[in-house]
Amino acid sequence: MQLTYERRKQLTYRFMMTPALLLMFIFIVFPAFYAFSLSLTNEALLGFAAKESSFVGLSNFERLFADPLFWNSLKVTLLFVIGSAVIGQFLLGFLSAVLLLRPIRFKAMFNAMICLPNAVPEMVVGFLWISMYASGEYGTLNRIVAWFGVDPQQWLYSFPLMAIIIVNTWRGVAFAMILLTSGLSSIPKDIYEAARVDGASDRQIFWRITIPMLMPTIFLYMFVSTVTTFAIFGLVYTLSRGGPANSTEILGIYIYNQSFTAFQLGYGASVAVVSLVVSMLIGVFYVRMFKVEV
Amino acid sequence: MAKIELIDIKKQYGDTKIVKGVTFTVEDGEFAVVVGPSGCGKSTLLRMIAGLEDITSGELRIDGKVANQVSPDKRGIAMVFQSYALYPHLTVAENIGFALTLKKHDKAEVAQRVKEAAKMLQLEDLLQRKPAELSGGQRQRVAIGRAIVKRPKVILFDEPLSNLDAKLRVQMRAELQRLHKEFGSTIVYVTHDQVEAMTMAEKIVVLNQGHISQLGKPMDLYQQPQNTFVAEFIGIPKMNLLDGEIQKNETNMFVCSNGLRIPLAANYQWTGKGIKLGIRPEHIDLADNDQWQYDVKIIERLGIETYLHLQRGKEDVIVVRLEGDHDLDIDKVSLHFPSELCRLFNEEGQVLLPNVI
Amino acid sequence: MSIASNAITTNGTSQKMTKSQFKTYLTLILISLYCMVPFIWVVLASVDPKASQFLKIPESVSMDHYWNLFANQSGLRWILNSIVINVSATIIALVFAGFGGYAISRTKAWWKLPLLYAIILVRIVPPPALIVPVYKVMLTLNDWVNALINAVFTDVATQQTMSRAFSFVDGYLGLILILAAMQLPLAIWIMKTFFDAIPIDYEESAAIDGATQWQTVRKVLIPLAMPGFAAAGLFAFINAWGDFLMPLMFTSSPELQTLPLGLFRAFLRVDAIDYGFLTALAVIYTLPAVIAFSFARKFLTQTFSGGVKG
């Protein structure tokens, strides 16, 4: 029988969807589920278990929840996400967005400068900041603080977590700024004018109009930046590899170190499961909470 | 040229029935307008005629041949879309000639036919422009040009005027009628605007919730609406509908509504309780007596005509149209309802026909 | 706003800066300094014959480090590897996302919504969580491919060349495919949003005009969706180009090294770090990303807000 136009289209759509689905399935979806099953084994790269791994039930998770290094990693990740994505990037990005919407000169130049860090590959970010944080009196940051009478510091050893938070903040200001700028400029001018006519002060306008109307954009920003920061690996790995003494060992690095430095694949997979579950929960929460339009 | 027959056409997506059995015929060379509120299934109906959507059940014949399974390009149709679907990367000439170039026509012939179509639509000076450089009306004409260049047997229009401003719409209505006369194609035209239907159609199909509400010539629909839906849908301002009932004495029948009592000119076969009395605003006259007085709520003076919005108690507002300008300074009026112009509908909204005496 | 800004630009010199304007500029200058300072070192060191880890004004300026990149075998090799791998990954992602985004935008089938939600979730899977299972998947695929290669080709030299090209671990194909897969969720979103904005009328009009599927794609859809392809391609390229984890996991031979990994490993050799070479390479590595980002910027908001709208 000859296919009608509508029927033919439906078949074409399925056919067109296949290659992308296949690729995502093989490299993302299947591995994600496979992580669950691996986490129930004692799979390893070295030693007895490397030859023949066996099912060990939930013992990886028992070990995990008793492992202070895991809790440390979770804490470090949380502080890293809150410090850089939720506070640092957001505040500086919001400030830049508000200021750059004012009638000022050199707007394009400020804009370009703030955006530049966002375009830099992770590895180069690490490279640049290692020089910034270099110890000794010739280190760039040490020279800057010397103007304020501060003695040279070993930044990556004395303040490791703060150091990576500052780097990630540096990298993400632009994203927050761009997103919030578009949110701010999509608030209709009429509303501000109406509020002025009603006699609202600048402060009242900011808290009662700008912030509530910007809420959807702020939530979108928080969601995207939280999940991206949660998934960071290369930036911290090139800067500190999780050290010194696990003080910057965010989850991604903890997984890598457990799997490919300690060669305990099963245990690494159980950490991966925790990380997957957390990010899926954030995703589902966001989608449900804000009724994402698709 | 072609005749289009739809026989009990139905369309269903999953459990949702969009078109619930539609039967009508568009004669060869006829200008038919399918009109109805949004969501009534009119666009789906048009797209089934075009072959863009499958027909769930029923039969579609074009030129006497069953066309249910025929692919869109083999149906001998052309279609003008609501968004015009002009390719922004092609010039006006390339847009008009698009269908012909696909079929690998000779270049000179394509150019010739594009030129003819352009001439017919007064687009000759714009042939090298891109759609973005055209005004709304010009884009509309290019879209029509793209349809007529194929010399189709049937042209389908899907709300083609809805993106134009009011003034252009009036112009394009006249233009479309002229083209139809010149070109003679069968036209099926879908719109939600009853004015377009009234002004252009030779046949109107009023569609409501997937059913045909009424089918016929524009003036028949206006004068003899078969149900309250058509009565209210056709004509602006819409027909007044008053709740009431029928009373009889030995010699006469009356229709009564909220104290109003109008003797009827004819006999009605009627059983049941409530009734709706329909009368068009222009058919109501002001009366000199002070029976059935109405409060005047609003007076709209347009110069050529005057509208009175009247109300009595909690009854619905009645609109009365008066010829010419009236500088009325009154807050109460009495009305006269000519009984031969009243239409009666039963509780289900179906028209009651007078018995021929 | 334009009136106010005119006032400032025309009378800027005569008018005294107000206190609030001063604060605005000061804040913006501080933020910009924070953003720019780290770059000063890499740029200066790359033209300084005596480059070191520390920021200093070069005594003399030369482009020698840059010329050396192309003379130096490994530097050139890394650049070429990066280009080949990332451009291939971007093209694959773009083609697949073009098809996928189109299909998911147009279909009315039952799988539309579930698939869209699934893609949001796939998009937020953190790559580090996948390293162990992905590593095992890649090993398995690698065994299959190499068995196939060894079965088809008997000549050892050919076997080695084919293995280099098509291996999943320490080969080009594996890295290309996994990088492409990682970019797909976002790329599909972007394409879907762009196709959503193209009325289906275009394709239906073409269908009535008798265009074949292929003609519709080539003459109608691709030209109309060009901005979408540009946006999706730019983001896929930027992300793949900057990725560090996948090359770290799946390349070991020096000839396969890409820029991020080459830079990283050279940097680890504490005893003999050639800062001039590395900074020049870092600048070269950063440039394509910056250029791509400057074009992609204007798509950034519509990409993200298109994907997950509040």
Chains that touch B (3 or more CB pairs under 8 A): A, C
Residue-level pLDDT at C6: 38
Sheet strands side by side (includes B77-80): B77-80, B154-158, B186-191, B31-35, B203-208, B211-216
Nearest to C137 among A13, A23, A26 (CB): A26
What value does the mean pLDDT of chain A take? Answer: 87
Specify the DSSP class assigned to residue B264. Answer: -
Domain positions in chain B are 4-231, 237-352
Pull the structure tokens for residue A157: 């050893």
Among candidate residues C228, C14, C218, the one with its CA nearest the CA of residue C101:
C228
Q: How confident is the model at residue C183 (pLDDT cuts 50, 70, 90)?
A: very high
- The minimum CA-CA distance between B174 and chain C, rounded to whole Å, is 25
Number of other residues whose CB lies within 10 A of the CB of residue B191: 22
What value does the mean pLDDT of chain B take? Answer: 88
The 3-state DSSP class for residue B225 equals coil
The whole-angstrom separation of Cα C130 and Cα A27 is: 9
Residue-level pLDDT at C160: 86
The whole-angstrom separation of Cα B51 and Cα A251 is: 56
Give the number of A-B residue pairs with CB atoms closer than 8 Å.
18
Q: Of B128-137, B311-320, C81-90, which gets the smallest average pLDDT?
A: B311-320
Pull the structure tokens for residue A43: 């799979």
CB contact under 8 A, C121 and A284: yes
As a whole number, mean pLDDT of residues C275-294 equals: 90
CB contact under 8 A, C304 and A173: no
Percent of chain B exceeding pLDDT 70 equals 97
Residue-level pLDDT at C134: 92
The whole-angstrom separation of Cα B49 and Cα A248 is: 66
CB contact under 8 A, A4 and B54: yes
Per-residue pLDDT tens for B203-245? 999 999 999 999 999 999 999 999 999 999 998 889 998 888 8
CB contact under 8 A, A5 and C124: no
The whole-angstrom separation of Cα A159 and Cα B326 is: 87
Per-residue pLDDT tens for C234-248? 999 999 999 999 999
Task: Return the residue matching tokens 């609109």.
Answer: B319
Residue-level pLDDT at B210: 92
Residue-level pLDDT at C3: 36
Global pTM? 0.83
Q: CB of B294 within 8 A of CB of B312?
A: yes
pLDDT at A149 over 70: yes
| Alpha-carbon dihedral sign for residues C7, C10, C16, C19 | positive
Residue-level pLDDT at C310: 29
Q: For A121-172, what is the HEC assignment?
A: CHHHHHHHHHHHCCCCCCCHHHHHHHCCCCCCCCHHHHCHHHHHHHHHHHHH
Helices (H), chain A: 5-24, 30-38, 48-51, 59-66, 68-80, 90-100, 107-119, 122-132, 140-146, 155-158, 160-185, 189-197, 202-205, 211-230, 234-239, 251-256, 265-289
Candidates A1, A3, A4, partner chain B, best to mutate (most B CBs within 10 A)? A4
Domain positions in chain A are 45-290
pLDDT at B68 over 70: yes
pLDDT at B36 over 90: yes
- Chain C nearest-CA residue for B52: C204
Contacts of A43 in chain C (CB under 8 A): 132
Candidates A1, A2, A3, A5, partner chain B, best to mutate (most B CBs within 10 A)? A5
* C301 vs C92: which has the higher pLDDT: C92
Contacts with B2 (C-beta within 8 Å, 6 or more apart), sequence order:
B28, B62, B63, B76, B153, B154, B186
Q: Of A48-57, B50-59, B307-316, which gets the smallest average pLDDT?
A: A48-57
ipTM score? 0.87
Per-residue pLDDT tens for A55-70? 887 888 888 888 999 9
Nearest to B102 among C199, C209, C223 (CB): C209
- The minimum CA-CA distance between C99 and chain A, rounded to whole Å, is 5
Residue-level pLDDT at C236: 92
What value does the mean pLDDT of chain C take? Answer: 85
- The minimum CA-CA distance between C46 and chain A, rounded to whole Å, is 12
Number of H helices, E strands in chain B: 8, 22
Q: Do domains B4-231 and B237-352 have the same CATH topology?
A: no
The whole-angstrom separation of Cα C111 and Cα C103 is: 11
Q: Of B270-284, C75-89, C112-126, which gets the smallest average pLDDT?
A: B270-284
pLDDT at A93 over 90: yes
Contacts of A268 in chain C (CB under 8 A): 131-132
Contacts of C208 in chain B (CB under 8 A): 50-52, 72-73, 77-79, 99
The whole-angstrom separation of Cα B132 and Cα B86 is: 9
The whole-angstrom separation of Cα A170 and Cα C139 is: 37
- The minimum CA-CA distance between A191 and chain C, rounded to whole Å, is 16
- Chain C nearest-CA residue for B150: C209
The 3-state DSSP class for residue A61 equals helix
CB contact under 8 A, A2 and B71: yes
- The minimum CA-CA distance between B23 and chain C, rounded to whole Å, is 24
Whether omega for the bond prior to residue B237 falls within 30 degrees of 0, making it cis, is yes
B85: left (phi over 0), alpha (psi -120 to 50) or beta: left
Nearest to B54 among A1, A2, A6 (CB): A6
Q: How confident is the model at residue B26 (pLDDT cuts 50, 70, 90)?
A: very high
pLDDT at A86 over 90: yes
As a whole number, mean pLDDT of residues B117-144 equals: 90
CB contact under 8 A, C209 and B85: no
Q: How confident is the model at residue C12 (pLDDT cuts 50, 70, 90)?
A: very low
The whole-angstrom separation of Cα B172 and Cα B178 is: 10
Chains that touch C (3 or more CB pairs under 8 A): A, B
* C70 vs B117: which has the higher pLDDT: B117
Pull the structure tokens for residue C21: 């304007």
Q: How confident is the model at residue C86 (pLDDT cuts 50, 70, 90)?
A: very high
pLDDT at C213 over 90: no
Contacts with B159 (C-beta within 8 Å, 6 or more apart), sequence order:
B43, B82, B190, B191, B192
Q: How confident is the model at residue A193 (pLDDT cuts 50, 70, 90)?
A: confident
- The minimum CA-CA distance between B324 and chain C, rounded to whole Å, is 45
Whether chain B has a CB inside 8 Å of the CB on C214: the answer is no
The whole-angstrom separation of Cα C108 and Cα C128 is: 35
Q: Of B258-262, B306-310, C162-166, which gets the smallest average pLDDT?
A: B258-262
Q: In CATH, what class is A45-290?
A: mainly alpha
Q: Amino acid letter at A155?
A: W
CB contact under 8 A, C201 and B85: yes
Residue-level pLDDT at B187: 94
Contacts of A182 in chain C (CB under 8 A): 301, 305
Which CATH homologous superfamily contains domain B237-352?
Answer: Nucleic acid-binding proteins (2.40.50.140)
Pull the structure tokens for residue C226: 């060009």
Q: Would you give the end-to-end CA distance of chain B in angstroms?
A: 45
Q: How confident is the model at residue C8 (pLDDT cuts 50, 70, 90)?
A: very low
Percent of chain A exceeding pLDDT 70 equals 95
Contacts of A2 in chain B (CB under 8 A): 69, 71
- The minimum CA-CA distance between A158 and chain C, rounded to whole Å, is 19
pLDDT at C15 over 60: no
Q: How confident is the model at residue C307 (pLDDT cuts 50, 70, 90)?
A: very low
The 3-state DSSP class for residue A232 equals coil
Residue-level pLDDT at C5: 38
Whether omega for the bond prior to residue A152 falls within 30 degrees of 0, making it cis, is no
Q: In CATH, what class is B4-231?
A: alpha beta
Q: CB of A275 within 8 A of CB of A255?
A: yes
- Chain A nearest-CA residue for B67: A4
Q: How confident is the model at residue C29 (pLDDT cuts 50, 70, 90)?
A: very high
Give the number of A-C residue pairs with CB atoms closer than 8 Å.
316
CB contact under 8 A, C181 and A293: no
Residue-level pLDDT at C17: 72
- Chain C nearest-CA residue for B97: C209
As a whole number, mean pLDDT of residues C219-237 equals: 90
Contacts with A129 (C-beta within 8 Å, 6 or more apart), sequence order:
A163, A167, A170, A239, C38
The whole-angstrom separation of Cα C42 and Cα A124 is: 9
Contacts of B71 in chain A (CB under 8 A): 2, 4-5
Whether chain B has a CB inside 8 Å of the CB on C151: the answer is no
Q: How confident is the model at residue A165 (pLDDT cuts 50, 70, 90)?
A: very high
CB contact under 8 A, B87 and C220: yes
Contacts with C286 (C-beta within 8 Å, 6 or more apart), sequence order:
A119, A120, A121, A124, C42
Nearest to B52 among A1, A2, A5 (CB): A5
